[in-house]
Amino acid sequence: MKRNYIIIATVAFLLGFSSKSNAQQDPQYTQYMYNTQVVNPAYAGSMEALSLGALYRTQWVGLEGAPKSFTFSGHTPVGLSNVGLGVSFVRDEIGPSEETYANVDFSYTLQASEKGKLAFGLKAGASFLNIDFTQLNISDPGDVFENNVDNKVNLQVGAGAYYYTDKFYAGLSVPNFIESQHFDEASIEDADASVISKERLHYFFITGYVFDISENVKFKPAVLTKIVTGSPLQVDGSANFLFYDKFTLGAAYRWSASWSALVGFQITDTLMLGFAYDRETTDLASFNDGSYEVYLRFDIFKNNDKIHTPRFF
């Protein structure tokens, strides 16, 4: 029963099957405040350091075929520090599918005010999709299920804007403007009844502010909003406390989806480690043991005096 349940869930989650095209969600992250470059290329170079980050997420633990995601990103300012360059890789697995995204990020930053900077970014790359339908128990095989998807390549082009100071940040982005179809409608005999999976535009808005509660305690509320045509509005809110610039403790809520706990450690001046745990608030909670996420960031600063005050975002 559990196997049949996750097969239905994974296919619906990944492909958004219906009699017409529907939306496909990009991977979601609880530690989005540290993983901004993946969805917004304007973030590249904003750390004023060579910054390398990796995140692993395993979702709905205990369900066969549940989503697993791995991301790697790296970015740095170049030249006079108004130009940022970066790369990002995302591997997303769910049920019978594996999709890998590889992108190059470019940003250009303007001094918008005495304390604030405004960056504009572009993202370009490709995604590679594989689906092995033989892993599914299909009661009525045919049409699109007859042939596996092998290394289907789709181009990606995205853009974003990111404003930030030492205390505040806000970003708006569309990681991919190209609405790719995963199946060729012309290859299906009855086009009117065909089942098509189509990627929709994803709009991301992120913002947060750092409050100095005391000399050694900082508080940062943050919000991530994702809008996708054909899918419910997704809003993630989080509240994190940073103690002595070394230890982070917080909680988050994903609207109508889950509660989360977050913890982070500034192990050295340049190395940060973070963990997150999600617990579903939907009926799906009865079928899994929650979701886990681990994040690692390594920063190489040009100027040693910057390493004494680690960025909280």
**pLDDT tens digit string along 3-15?**
444 444 444 444 4
Entry pTM = 0.84
pLDDT of residue 6: 45
For residue 188, what pLDDT is reported? 45
Is 74 part of a structural domain of the chain? Answer: yes
- Encode pLDDT of 231-272 as tens digits: 888 999 999 999 999 999 999 999 989 999 999 999 998 899
Does residue 20 sit within a domain?
A: yes
In a domain, 143, yes or no: no
CATH number of the domain residue 106 falls in: 2.40.160.40
Domain ranges, residue 71 = 2-137+150-186+193-306
Q: Which two tokens stand for residue 57?
A: 């997420």
Q: Is 253 part of any domain?
A: yes
The answer to whether residue 311 is domain-embedded is no
Identify whether 145 is part of a domain. Answer: no
DSSP state of 48: S
Q: How far is CA 3 from CA 6, 9, 21, 63, 93, in A?
A: 5, 10, 26, 7, 16
The total number of structural domains that make up the chain: 1
Asked, for residue 144, whether it belongs to a domain, the answer is no
Below-50 pLDDT ranges, the chain? 1-24, 185-196, 305, 307-308
